[in-house]
Amino acid sequence: MHVMESAMVAPVEDIITEALIDRVVRTFYASVQTDPQLGPIFAARITNWDAHLNRMCAFWSSVLLMSGRYHGQPMQLHQGLPVDARHFDRWLELFAQTARSICPPVAAEQFVSRAERIAESLELGIAASRGGWLRKGERLAPASADSA
């Protein structure tokens, strides 16, 4: 029996490690901090970036490796943010660029597909917290001055 080594691919569970998650998270948030659209939103709320990055590494470890390291409530943390669909789109754009520039393709797609589902969930939750509901295909509108 001959096995083509080039056709062998490690399972994604063997590719995504805590070290890879750490690298993706830190690289991504470095780009967020300098982004004209997202940077000010984060800068107004995050005073301890080391603590935030450690929390985000724990979050992504829990999401991708099912490590159980994260024990927060992301929906509550995001509900009061002055964000709309444009911010989610930019966040996903930067996240996908980061994951695809660092990770092997199969791992990058795991990061990106999870990020897309998380963004959709947060967008729906924020809309609900503002007293509205998004139907299929609808996106989060900017917060009105009285709800921000």
Q: Is 78 annotated to bind ligand?
A: no
Q: How far is the C-alpha of 102 from the C-alpha of 19, rounded, in Å?
A: 12
Given a contact cutoff of 8 angstroms between Cβ atoms, the answer to whether 98 and 56 are in contact is no
Nearest to 78 by CA among 144, 130, 34: 130
Give the three-class secondary structure for 132: coil
Given a contact cutoff of 8 angstroms between Cβ atoms, the answer to whether 88 and 146 are in contact is no
Q: Which burial class, exposed, middle or buried, applies to 137 when counting CB atoms under 10 A from its CB (0-12, 13-18, 19+)?
A: exposed
- Annotated binding-site members: 52
Q: Mark the binding-site residues for heme, compressed into ranges.
A: 52
